[in-house]
Amino acid sequence: ISGPVDSARKALQSVSQQLLENPPRERDTFPAGKSSFLATHPLGPVPHSEVPPPIGYHSSAQGPRHAFGLHDGNDFFPSASPSVSMFHDPARSSRVNSPPDILSFRLLCTNEKVGGVIGKGGSIVRNIHSETGADIKILDAVQDTDDRVIAISAPV
């Protein structure tokens, strides 16, 4: 989803609403007996076979990833600079093991609700990290909005 902030926000809210109203049919993708935050979350786990890769997904089959951050070739957040940059250097790749592919995506969350993502003292973020290995970062507020960007990334 890209475009002016207000349009993108409306589109994200619409997509989120559709996801809430139409949860996946298969919910049990975790091994039996494993207690997981994701397995007990109201939305439940999403089976990989039913969901296309999220925006920002990159696999090694697509070739090297040149850069990713708060904007990927568009001016969705023109005032923000990329949070992370990765450049492919063939000479470096031949000398050192290549870093793992990273699955990353970003979500917009209103400032007033970001505490529900973080949890008391960061408990929800820590719990998700310990169970999945994913890094979750709450970035600074998007300029001229009441939104925060939640960046989620993990090795593929």
Task: Give me the pLDDT at residue 123, please.
Answer: 92
CA–CA distance, 142 with 132 (Å, rounded to integer): 27
Task: Give me the pLDDT at residue 34, please.
Answer: 40
Cβ neighbours of 115 (radius 10 Å) = 12
Task: Give me the pLDDT at residue 122, please.
Answer: 92
Task: Give me the pLDDT at residue 67, please.
Answer: 39
Task: Give me the pLDDT at residue 48, please.
Answer: 41
CA–CA distance, 5 with 13 (Å, rounded to integer): 12
Q: What is the pLDDT along the chain (156 residues), one digit of tens a residue?
A: 666 777 767 777 777 777 677 665 654 444 444 444 443 334 444 444 444 444 444 444 444 444 334 434 333 333 333 333 334 444 444 445 666 778 788 888 888 888 988 999 999 999 888 888 888 899 988 788 889 998 888 887
Helix (H, G, I), strand (E, B) or coil at 109: strand
Which pTM does this prediction carry? 0.41
Segment 131-138 long-range contacts (CB within 8 Å, at least 24 positions apart): 131/36, 131/37, 131/38, 132/38, 137/83, 138/114
- CATH value at residue 32: 3.30.1370.10
* Beta-carbon contacts of residue 43 (< 8 Å; ≥ 6 apart): 19, 20, 23
* Beta-carbon contacts of residue 57 (< 8 Å; ≥ 6 apart): 103, 105
The boundaries of the domain holding residue 11 are: 5-155
Domain count, the chain: 1
